[in-house]
Amino acid sequence: MREIYSDAKRDCSILRLIESGAQVSDEELISALLDGVCAVIDSCHTAKILLDKYGTLSNICNAPYRELVQTEGVGEKGAALLKICGAAVTNILCEGNTDNKRRIYTYDELVDYLRPHFLNQKVEKLYLLTLNSRYRILGLSLIAQGDRDSLTFDKKLVIDRALKSGASSVVLAHNHMSSVLPSAQDVIITNDLAQLLDSVSIRLHDHIIFCENKSKSMRRSGYIKDDKSPLFC
């Protein structure tokens, strides 16, 4: 058996660290989150169990709810809090990425702009980023959401969204669960879209695939078969 307790002094100490801008470890954050929520055991011990099992705070928040519930010391309330915190972080990261006056200068900026929309996702999603002639962002829209292994969408929807936004160019982005390599179908559909967009004088700059912390440019990797070179260095 383990002692049941809630250490208010520890909570205050962690809050002071956060307020001061000091870095707080994943173990301290998890322990603070679970303190007072789970009326069972030492939250420090539970934090260590979670980190041993999942490795990082991001992986913990992205773990299946039922798995978290079954972990010693977590329970339904603790699991719900961890999942909510993960969703909150994703929303916070996305908040700064909706400014339609922002201009994209480099490939790294493009990836940094898009990446937050794929964090902690358990299904595939496809986004369309529309840009004007000066590469300022006109909008980012979710085109389709699938399951863990695939998604389907109407290519006409991409063309329609691009035209309605007044875009001069666009970037496609979607995520995979296990690899950043495009599938054969990804390559075919992307090249079809490049031709369709070109027919209405809109350029497909790139199609970027995300998987966890990795990304791959289909344009840079030679999967887009046209005579256009990458614009973003």
Per-residue pLDDT tens digits for 119-174: 888 889 999 999 999 999 999 999 998 888 888 999 999 999 999 999 999 999 99
Q: How far apart are CA 74 and CA 92, in angstroms?
A: 25
Comparing 160 with 35, the larger pLDDT belongs to: 160
**Residues in the chain, how many?**
233
pLDDT at 74 over 70: yes
Answer yes or no: same fold for 8-94 and 96-217: no
Q: Where are the domains of the chain?
A: 8-94, 96-217
- DSSP assignments along the chain, one per residue: -------HHHHHHHHHHHHHT----HHHHHHHHHTTT-SSS-HHHHHHHHHHHHSSHHHHHTS-HHHHHTSTTTHHHHHHHHHHHHHHHHHHHHHTT--TT-B--SHHHHHHHHGGGGTT-SS-EEEEEEE-TT-BEEEEEEEEE--SS-----HHHHHHHHHHHT-SEEEEEEE-SS-SSPPHHHHHHHHHHHHHHHHTT-EEEEEEEEETTEEEETTTTT-S-SSPPPS--
Mean pLDDT confidence for 90-113:
73
pLDDT (0 to 100) of residue 18: 63
Mean pLDDT confidence for 39-64:
80
pLDDT at 2 over 80: no
Q: Name, of 95-99, 203-207, 229-233, the range with top average pLDDT.
A: 203-207
Helix 26-34 vs helix 43-54: crossing angle, to nearest 10: 130
Output the CA torsion sign for 84, 87, 92, 93: positive
Q: Are 26 and 56 in contact (CB under 8 A)?
A: yes
pLDDT (0 to 100) of residue 3: 39
Q: How far apart are CA 195 and CA 197, in angstroms?
A: 5
Q: How far apart are CA 214 and CA 175, in angstroms?
A: 10
pTM over 0.75: no
Percent of the chain with pLDDT over 90: 41
pLDDT (0 to 100) of residue 39: 54
CATH 1.10.150 describes domain 8-94: yes
pLDDT (0 to 100) of residue 4: 39
pLDDT (0 to 100) of residue 38: 57
pLDDT (0 to 100) of residue 58: 77
pLDDT (0 to 100) of residue 13: 61
pLDDT (0 to 100) of residue 11: 55
Q: Which amino acid is at 130?
A: T
Q: Are 98 and 140 in contact (CB under 8 A)?
A: yes
Chain mean pLDDT for the chain: 83
pLDDT (0 to 100) of residue 172: 97
Lowest mean pLDDT among 13-27, 109-123, 129-143: 13-27
pLDDT at 17 over 70: no
Q: How far apart are CA 50 and CA 42, in angstroms?
A: 13
pLDDT at 213 over 60: yes
Mean pLDDT confidence for 27-36:
79
Name the pairing type of β-strands 203-211 and 169-175.
Answer: parallel
Fold of 96-217: Cytidine Deaminase; domain 2 (3.40.140)
Mean pLDDT confidence for 65-75:
86
